[in-house]
Structure 1
Amino acid sequence: MPATPRRRHVLRYLPVLPAVVLLLVFLAGPVLWAFQASLTNAALTGRHARNPEWVGLENYQRLAQDPVFPLSLGLTVLFVAGSAVLGQNVLGLALAVLMRRARPVVAATVGTAVVAAWVLPEIVAAFAAYAFFSRDGTLNQLLGRFGAPDVDWLYAVPMAAVVLANVWRGTAFSMLVYRAALNSVPAELLEAAHMDGAGAWQRFSFITLPVIRGSIATNLMLVTLQTLAVFTLIWVLTAGGPANASTTLPVLAYQEAFKFGDIGYGTAVATVLILIGAVFGAAYLRLLREQKP
């Protein structure tokens, strides 16, 4: 019996059904639970841990009145812009371009050094960064050779320290994405532009960047969403301090939920973080659609 158009349409999507089920169970389920918990006074201990009560939008009203929340929101934007949009994205592209022109031995050495930080477990990378920025760490030891005084970088400039640490750990991903993207740039276009008198910067600006703009948007989306969720690195380096100077939204959510035991309020912070990620994702996906011919 021949398949009807409707049946063929259903069979076409049948192979992706297991993936959809897994997404619903392991992604949509926790997100819905977090939103539901944010509307209650659920706690880590006490009577509300066993029998949480419905409080509606009370936790979100507390967010609007909490002076730490706008500070954490601003620090999260600063962290994402500094370490993902500018740091990892720009540095990854620069490394990919330089490694493409470098000698094979130099490119392999630099690539290995950059990727080594990425393949480390996050907790190991966090302790390595702590050993570098602490008062008795590597940075002060190096600067001390030039007569510079010891500085507690994690106390003096905590956000700069965590931004640099995240750039160090995450740049490898952007570098690999852009190395693959640069291979898709037609060599004949570059050669033709060179013969027409275009300099290296002109060829990069008017040929390379437009060709790889889809990869740029994709990479921006991925590193932005990944950076929004960074917790371990910041917690090991500064634990959100000093005086909330490096308390991003993931750190704030953890503190409220597990340090102070207010699960409802902590999940409200986490829900706001999910919404911010959804806005970023939707914006990047729209950008990708607009770039399609």
Structure 2
Amino acid sequence: MEQGIQQPKKKLSDNVKSIFFLFPSWILLLIFFIGPMILTVIFSFSNLALTGTNASQFQFIGFDNFVQMFQDPNFRISIWNTIVFVFFSAVIGQCFLGFLIAFLMREKNTAFRRVIGLIIIAAWVTPEVVVSFCWVAFLGETGTANWLLGLLNIEPIAWLFTFPMISVIIANVWRGTAFSMMVFQSALDDIPKEVEEAAVMDGASRWQIVTKITIPMVKGTIATNLMLVTLQTLGVFTLIYTMTGGGPGVSTATLPVFMYQQAFVSYQLGYGTAISLVLLAIGAIASLIYMKTLKVKV
């Protein structure tokens, strides 16, 4: 009877200790995550600005920022630029290429995998701004790309002005593919070889093994990687802004670049935070589509 009375007290004491030790984490979470999220929502419905009359006359303006946003042709262009950049850079580029490299290296010896892996990972660990300057130099008028074209007697091309979106997509794929490669490499190594060997003995072709066994067994990894790479690519700013500044014109102005221009170049912070909410919504919708399409529960 005495033990039954002491046990709830002990459990209560453990809960109090847990709350005490987690309290600093909650404070940090509130300050650096929940607080900014709440302020972002509040500011998106306001006329917050850094200069002009709005800077001294803060007020809530309802959905005016969102109405202005969807009436702005540059915003619609940035939406399209974002979709193109994410689809070709994240889905087609990083995810597909990362899977292909991981699959091709699967049967190779350890030394070969380490050498190729280090070469690819070197681009990933390089700071984004450094990667941007490397590609600006590579695609410049006197860069390596035009030097190679000169060897073929082809006139130099102003890559960053003639093909700006293709240029930033290639640069981002070059930098980010290593992450997908490592994720898929780990997942493919976990597939039991006995399963594929049994399929070969049953007369399955190489294509059938890949489509009917390999891909279904790493479906969860594919969904997770797609979500992570998509969300990361949605937030790419430094690479695009350093290479093209969102131009020429607005031809490479994705939502993060457009948001920066409105918030910190035009000083319309309220309008900029409203754009950030749209960016957040696009990321959430993309994640739901991946989970629904691949039928994966996260």
Q: TM-score, normalised by structure 2?
A: 0.90
Q: Cα RMSD over matched residues? A: 2.5
The C-alpha deviation readout for 1:71-117, integer Å capped at 9, x for no partner, is 10011011111100110000000000111122333322211111001
The C-alpha deviation readout for 1:49-77, integer Å capped at 9, x for no partner, is 34422211111110111001111001101
Q: For the residues of structure 2 that align with 1:12 and 1:94, how far apart are their CA atoms?
A: 49
Q: For the residues of structure 2 that align with 1:160 and 1:239, how far apart are their CA atoms?
A: 15
* Distance change >3 Å, CA 168–CA 277, structure 1 → 2: same
Give the aligned partner of residue 200 of structure 1. 206
* Distance change >3 Å, CA 10–CA 76, structure 1 → 2: farther
Query: Which of residues 7, 27, 49 is equivalent to 1:2?
Result: 7
Give the aligned partner of residue 73 of structure 1. 79
CA offset at residue 13 of structure 1?
A: 8.2
Q: Aligned pair 1:262/2:273, yes or no?
A: no
Give the aligned partner of residue 277 of structure 1. 283
Q: For the residues of structure 1 that align with 2:293 and 2:34, how far apart are their CA atoms?
A: 24
* Distance change >3 Å, CA 204–CA 2, structure 1 → 2: same
Aligned partners of 2:91 and 2:230 also within 8 Å: yes
* Structure 2: gaps of 5 or more residues: 1-5
Give the 3-state SS of the residue equivalent to 1:101 in structure 2.
coil
Q: Aligned pair 1:221/2:227, yes or no?
A: yes
* Structure 1: gaps of 5 or more residues: none
- Count of paired positions: 292
The C-alpha deviation readout for 1:130-185, integer Å capped at 9, x for no partner, is 11222222211122111111101111111111111110010000000000000111
* Distance change >3 Å, CA 231–CA 268, structure 1 → 2: same
Matching residue's letter, 1:227: T
Question: Matches of residues 50-129 of structure 1 in structure 2 within 5 Å?
Answer: 50-129=56-135
Give the 3-state SS of the residue equivalent to 2:51 in structure 1.
coil
Q: Aligned pair 1:291/2:296, yes or no?
A: yes
Aligned partners of 2:106 and 2:189 also within 8 Å: no
Query: Which of residues 215, 235, 251 is equivalent to 1:209?
Result: 215
* Distance change >3 Å, CA 16–CA 177, structure 1 → 2: farther
Query: Which of residues 129, 133, 139 is equivalent to 2:139?
Result: 133
Aligned partners of 2:132 and 2:239 also within 8 Å: yes
CA offset at residue 249 of structure 1?
A: 0.3
Aligned partners of 2:223 and 2:296 also within 8 Å: no
Q: Aligned pair 1:29/2:35, yes or no?
A: yes
Larger radius of gyration between Structure 1 and Structure 2: 2
* Distance change >3 Å, CA 17–CA 202, structure 1 → 2: farther
CA offset at residue 278 of structure 1?
A: 2.2
Give the aligned partner of residue 3 of structure 2. none
CA offset at residue 280 of structure 1?
A: 2.4
Identical amino acids, percent of aligned pairs: 44
* Distance change >3 Å, CA 9–CA 214, structure 1 → 2: farther
Q: Aligned pair 1:175/2:181, yes or no?
A: yes
- After the TM superposition, which of the residue ranges 269-278 and 158-167 deviates more from structure 2? 269-278
Give the aligned partner of residue 161 of structure 1. 167
- After the TM superposition, which of the residue ranges 13-22 and 36-45 deviates more from structure 2? 13-22
